[in-house]
Amino acid sequence: MEFMIMVEPGVRVYVNDINPSGNKTIIFLHGWPANYRLFEYQYNILPHMGYRCIGIDTRGFGNSDKPWSGYSYDSLADDILEVIKTLDLNNVTLLGHSTAGAVAIRYMARHNGFGVSKLVLCAAAAPSLIKRPNFPYGQNKEDIEKVFIQGAYDDRPNMLENFGRIFFYKQVSPPFSDWLFQMGLQAASYATIAISKDWITEELFSDLPKIHVPTLIMHGIHDQVVPYQLGVVQNQGIRNSKLITFENSGHGLFYDEMDKFNRELTQFVG
């Protein structure tokens, strides 16, 4: 079931509700610069196991509307709230990958986890994707500015293709790589730039202690985008959280170790 949900006047986000009659609901939030299809290899399996899978395209990405503004973590968290309220969802598992993991954390803190009973963070870009004076982990600010922001201004297709080369740890086929590349191209260029700027300005150190639901953290040790140490910090900052290390995964752990990912996710959701 596919539809558009109005999250604010003039802005709609795309939602794909797979197996609406499922017993337990998982909301999938994709990372930059993809769309809900990023979790195709979960949608193929989990609905057969009785799960309801709801994929959301972030505003500016995929099939969602692409407004000029509204790309702060606060705004993106508010969009999630509108989807949950519109669909009258409760007792759901909220799953966020990469940047969407950070947005999921902001949602839990900003909206007191409304409707959410469990949280899953996959290679989440939190509490900060960049290194800061008192935070030695993550990427260098200058690299984000040069590679992703200026790269998008100068040659976005080339930037996206290079990003795809470091996304997975396992070897993927050229068609598979192109599949990921095409998802990135579907986004609005200004949306990809705005989110890249968020990586520099957004911090979630004070958000982590506000999470009060069971939380599963999954992170690959070979992640070249969001270093593994960020998962360790999340585990230290979120009460009642569990960190699962993926020894043979990069940033795309949901595909690098697909069977393990699906198994850990379903065991956690129950």
Concatenating the DSSP letter of every residue in 77-103 gives: HHHHHHHHHHTT--SEEEEEETHHHHH
Yes or no: say if 80 and 57 are a contact pair by the CB < 8 Å rule: no
Q: Of 54, 108, 100, 115, give the one whose Cα is nearest residue 240.
A: 108
In CATH, which superfamily holds the domain spanning 2-269?
Alpha/Beta hydrolase fold, catalytic domain (3.40.50.1820)
Q: Cα–Cα distance between 105 and 65 in angstroms, integer? A: 23
Let me know: does 130 contact 203? Beta carbons within 8 Å.
Answer: no
Write the DSSP assignment of 26-62 as a string of letters.
EEEEPPTT--GGGGHHHHTTGGGGTEEEEEEPPTTST
- Parts of the chain with a pLDDT under 70: none
Amino acid at 214: P
Q: Residue 223's Cα: distance from chain center in Å? A: 14
pLDDT score of 231: 98
CA distance 95 to 105: 10
Q: What angle do CA 43, 44, 50 make, to 5 degrees?
A: 70
DSSP one-letter code for 225: S
- So what's the pLDDT on residue 156? 98
Cβ contacts of 42 within 8 Å, gap of 6 or more = 28, 53, 254, 261, 262, 265
Where do the domains of the chain lie?
2-269
Among all residues, which ones are annotated catalytic?
98, 223, 251
Q: What is the pLDDT of residues 72-95, one digit of tens each?
A: 999 999 999 999 999 999 999 999
Residue 141 is given by DSSP the state H
As a residue count, the chain comes to 270
Angle between helices 174-186 and 151-165 (to 10 degrees): 150
Instruction: Report which of 180, 173, 198 is spatially closest to residue 34, judged by C-alpha positions.
Output: 180
Query: Exposed/middle/buried for 179, CB within 10 Å: 0-12, 13-18, 19+?
Result: middle
